[in-house]
Each structure stands twice: as C-alpha cells, then as structure tokens.
Amino acid sequence: MAGIKDLGVGIGWRSEIDLTVERLPGVDFVEVVAENLHIGHLPESVTLLLERGVPVLPHAVSLSLGSADQVDLHRVEHLGAVAEAVGAPMVSDHVCFVRAGGLDSGHLMPVPRTRDALDVLVANVKLAQRNLPVPLALENVAALLEWPDGELSEGQFLAELVERTDCWLLVDVANLYANARNIGTDPERFLDEIPLERLAYVHVAGGEQNGDIYHDTHAHAVLPEVLEVLDELCSRVAPPGVLLERDDNYPSDTEIAGELAAIRAVVNKHRG
Amino acid sequence: MAAPTTARGTRLPPEQIGYLVAGPGRAAETALARLLDADLVRVSRDGLVSAVHQTELGVSTAVETFILVNLRRAVRFDAVVRNAAKSAEMRTLHQQLRARRLTRDPRPRLAAWWVFLAFGVLLSLLAFLEPWTLFGAVAFLGVAYWTFGAKPLTRAGRAALKDVTASDRVLTVALEGFRGRIGNQSVGELFGLPQSVVKMLPRKKRKARNGGAASAAGCGSGCGSSSCGSSSSCSSGSSSCSGGGSSCGGGGGGGD
Ligand SMILES: [Fe+2]
C-alpha cells in the first residue's frame, strides 16, 4: 500500500496531551479517534502536526462492523471525510460490535468466531470499503469472554477476513496479551495464523491486573510482557509502524517518552 | 542558580518573590510554573490543566499542594491561578511574609477617597480664616495618605527583591508573570504554552508593588531563545539559562 510503509513509532493523539504530543521527540505518526473530530474544524494541534508532515491516521470505534445490522453509512462517510481532511493513507476500526438491537454496549465486544458471524462481518467490511476513499485496517480486540460454539481460532478468523475482504490488519499486541491472560489465546499461534504481509501497523498499550482479570485500560504503564509480544511479532515481520495508545491517567512527558523509546528499542532490535 | 536572599540572608522561594512582586495572583502563577517545571501538571491547548499523577509527591509548598489536590479533574488555566490566589494557603503565605516584615497589609483605596480629599482641602481653606486649622489639615492629609496610600512592600521587601533576576523560567514567571515578555519572547513560551492559554490570565503590571526593584536582565540569552521554549534546560537553572546576558531585555521595574 502506497504511503503506509515506515510509519515509525507513534502515539495516539488526544486533546489532553496535545502539547505533549507536539513537543515529544520521536513521534513519527499519530492516530486520531475519528469520532472525536469535526470536519472543517480540525484541532489546532492536529493541523500543526500535519503542517510538520506528521502522518495522521483516523481510527474509528463506532462502525460496529460485527453487528448483525448493516453498517451505518453515515459513520463510514464521516470516517472517510476525516481521512480526506487529514490526508490519511488509511483508516481503521475493530473486529467487534458495539451495538445490537438498538442498544449501545459502550465497549468493543468480540464477535462470535463462527462462519455465520464471519459472513456478517465480511458483508459489512465490504460495504464500508466501497464507501471509503482509503484502505481499511481492522484491529483485534481485547475480550473478556468467548462466545460459545466458536469454529475458528482468532488468527484463523482474521486470516479468512483478510482473504475475503482484502482488508489490512492492525495488530494490538496489548489486546493479544490480554486475551492470552483472560481467555487463553496463544499469541504465537495467533501470529502464525494471521497474514503478516497484510500488517498495517501495531498498537501497544498499558493495563493492569485486577484479581483474575487483566484489564487493557490504556491508563497504566505498558507491561514488559506486552513488549515481549511486540518482540515476538517483530521477530517475524518488520511492522510498518508501532503506536502507543494512552487514553487516561496520562503520565509525565518523560514517562511517555520512555515508553516510546522502549517500543523503538524493540523494533530496532530486529532491524539490525 | 543562586537562590535569591533577603537582606538578612534568608532564602526567598520563587513563590514568595512572585507575591512580593505582584501579589497573590503572581504567587499563584509562580506555584503553577513550578509544578509545570517539575512535570507534575500539564496544560492542553484548550487551556485545561491536569495533574500528571494523583499524588502530591514532588510538591514543595502549601500553595502547590492546594493546586495539585484541586486538579483531580482538569481545570481551566486561569481558574487554577484565581483559585490558588484566593486560597487559605495563599493567605497563610501572606501572613508569613508580613510576619517577616517583607510586606504589610494592603490598604486598598476607598471608593470614597475624594470625600477625604475634599475634607482636607476644606480644612486647608479654613486655614485662611483660622490659621490653626492648617495644622489639622496637614495632620489629616498625612494620616489619610498613610492609611490609604501606603504600598504593600516594606523596605525589607524591596531589599529582598533588589537582586532577584530571572535566572530560570520559574523565577521569570515570578518577576514577569506568564503574560510578561522577556526580550522578544513571551514568558509562557518558556513553558511551551500557546498564547491562547497565557491570555486567559489578566494582564497585571508589576510596577505597583515592587517599585522597580527586581530585574529580568539576569536572564541569559538562552532564556530568550527558542531552545528553552519547551525543554527542561531552563528548569534547573542550568548555565544555558542563567548568567547576565542582556538580550532578554525587559529589565527593571518597567512593568507591562
Ligand atoms: Fe488498540
């Protein structure tokens, strides 16, 4: 895909840390939550980053591509408009559903890994792709439950999704780690099964263990174990980009810079 | 950086210098500047200030603690300064400065000051008829001036500010405020703050309090350059920002 190679190391742009993102050294690209942006009134900070030549990638959280209902084309249209406003080479959302039967879950819910659910997902992804001006990448989510009667592993499910829709993959290694802790996903098997040549970029995030459950909070430090999953991924493929997601409880600039440096060190380790 | 001292050799922290230079608002700005400098709070482009950690680790004064504990949720930049300036902690700081005879209670000018003036003039005119009233007029005007016209800084307070220079960015805020300028650079820029944020604060002249004692001329050329704009090189009073360069300009008590 033209223009997506070598994104480098980036961070999720959030208004709370806009000045931090602007002044941190080593921010090669940023991701914005598409639903938070208004076309025609981009945040000054985002405009400034664009003027500096920093790629800005829209990331959506509300397409609900795994819903049995048809994808809402107004949301797809908004995502496409944000992509055009920031000149993004691609957009992304998740392999999940966030609403059903008129109700909003308020959370990225995993889809059942059945062939029927895959058919629904494929239909929605294809419809979204037809209405988007740029390629679409889809991200694996952190799940606290697995639906019964699954027919495919998560890796197989994503591999078939890519094969049938030609979408790109956004691999969140923190979600992969969370799933390993909470529902027994094997990260190595996952990485063996997905088509790594369709990897758009990677997410890294922090979380915390709470009792028996690991919560992918995006509000805590990145665990070394998550970096180990990134390391495993990098041993197989050089990711075009790796992005740190932080959504709350923002640490100091120094700490954020440290996390970005740690990510860069893992990536560079495999670049020789 | 050499810490500024009073005439008796006691160290005077930046927050107290800010108070002596321009009152509780400036002291509050200085406390906020110190927290920014220590990476304990952050400001966003829309002017919201938030605590970096939900602890009070790293605070060094009661006013700083007041600011931090009230930043559990983001607060507007100007409201942070205003609230701190009105806090009980700030009143305590004032009392400490007063106890050390560096400042005295402010004597705000009464709205009806002209009544006193008119009465004094009347007494003076009466002196043409009854010369003895001249003594009364002089005494009355003298008491009125002492009561309503005295500046808050004592001689010791002015002496404490005499050799204070903007040798780091926190002291620069104490002397000039976030809205001040140092050379051709806004003081806010030393902290990487956009003008839209800095302009949330009311502009305040410093001349009224310090009578031109303190000086910004001590800020070396490094503080006036963009190299200090958002880095920490100003924060610790490193050599890049101290010294006696003249390029910062804006020295003396010219206010603005
Ligand atoms: Fe993610």
Residues of B in contact with A46 (CB under 8 A): none
SS3 for A65? coil
Contacts of A253 in chain B (CB under 8 A): 39, 42
ipTM for the whole complex:
0.86
Q: What is the pLDDT of residue B141?
A: 72
Task: Give the pLDDT band of residue A4 (cuts 50, 70, 90).
Answer: low
**pLDDT of B228 over the 80 cut:** no
**Is pLDDT larger for residue A133 or for residue A105?**
A133
Give the pLDDT mean for B154-172: 90
Q: Which residues pair with B165 in a beta bridge?
A: B215
Q: What angle, 0 to 180 degrees and rounded to 10, lies between the N-to-C axes of helices A115-130 and A73-86?
A: 50
Q: Which residues of B40-69 are buried (b: 16+ CB within 10 A; e: fewer)?
A: bbbbbbbbbbbbbbeeeeebebbbbebbbe
Interface test with B, best of A13, A17, A20, A46 (most B CBs within 10 A): A20
Least confident of A74-78, A201-205, A227-231, A246-250: A246-250
DSSP per residue, B135-166: HHHHHHHHHHHHHHS--SB-HHHHHHHHT-B-
Unique residue bearing structure tokens 């504990």: B69
| DSSP, res A200 | E
Shortest CA gap B231–chain A (Å): 9
A17–B53 C-beta distance less than 8 A: no
**pTM for the full model?**
0.81
Q: State residue B159's pLDDT score.
A: 87
Residue with the larger pLDDT of the pair A1 and B233: A1
Residues in A closer than 8 angstroms to B39, CB to CB, are 252-254
Q: How many beta carbons lie within 10 A of that of residue A242, not counting itself?
A: 25
pLDDT tens digits, A176-216: 999 999 999 999 999 999 999 999 999 999 999 999 999 99
Q: Which of B27, B23, B31, B80 is nearest to B205 (CA)?
A: B23
Q: What distance in angstroms lies between residue A245's CA and the mean position of ligand 1's atoms?
A: 7
CA-based end-to-end distance of chain B:
26
Output the pLDDT for position B205.
56
Please report the DSSP string for B17-59 in residue order: HHHHHH-HHHHHHHHHHHHHHTTSEEE-TTSEEEESSSS-TT-
CA–centroid distance, A204 to ligand 1, in Å, is 7
Tokens representing B58?
Answer: 């790293």
Beta bridge partners of A53: none
DSSP B65-89: HHHHHTTSS-EEHHHHHHHHHTSHH
Which chain A residue's Cα is nearest to B39? A252
Q: Is B224 exposed, middle or buried (0-12, 13-18, 19+ CB in 10 A)?
A: buried
**Which chain B residues have a beta carbon less than 8 Å from that of A254?**
39
pLDDT averaged over chain A?
95
CB atoms within 10 A of CB B180: 26
Q: What is the pLDDT of residue B241?
A: 31
Cβ–Cβ gap B42/A20 under 8 Å: yes
Q: In this complex, how many residue pairs, one in chain A and one in chain B, have their CB atoms less than 8 Å apart?
A: 40
Whether B43 has its CB under 8 Å from any CB of chain A: the answer is: yes
Of A204-218, A225-239, B6-20, where does mean pLDDT reach its minimum?
B6-20
List CB contacts of A140: < 8 A, sequence separation 6 or more: A94, A95, A154, A158, A169, A170, A171, A172, A175, A176, A179, A190
Is residue B244 within 8 Å of B217, Cβ to Cβ? Answer: yes
The reply to whether A18 touches chain B by the CB within 8 Å rule is: yes
Confidence band for B208, pLDDT divided at 50, 70 and 90:
very low
Instruction: Report A:233-262 residues touching B (Cβ under 8 A).
Output: 249-254
Q: Cα-atom radius of gyration of chain B, to the nearest Å?
A: 21
Q: Quick check: B39 and A250 CB within 8 A? A: no
Which helix (H) or strand (E) element contains residue A127? helix A115-130
Q: Say which amino acid occupies B219.
A: C
| Partner residue opposite A251 with nearest CB, options B44, B52, B194 | B52
Q: pLDDT tens digits for B30-59?
A: 999 999 999 999 999 999 999 998 777 888
Domains of chain A listed by start with CATH number? 12-244+258-269 (3.20.20.150)
Which has more pLDDT, A48 or B152?
A48
Find the B85 Cα to ligand 1 centroid distance in Å.
Answer: 42
Confidence band, pLDDT 50/70/90 cuts, at residue A151: very high
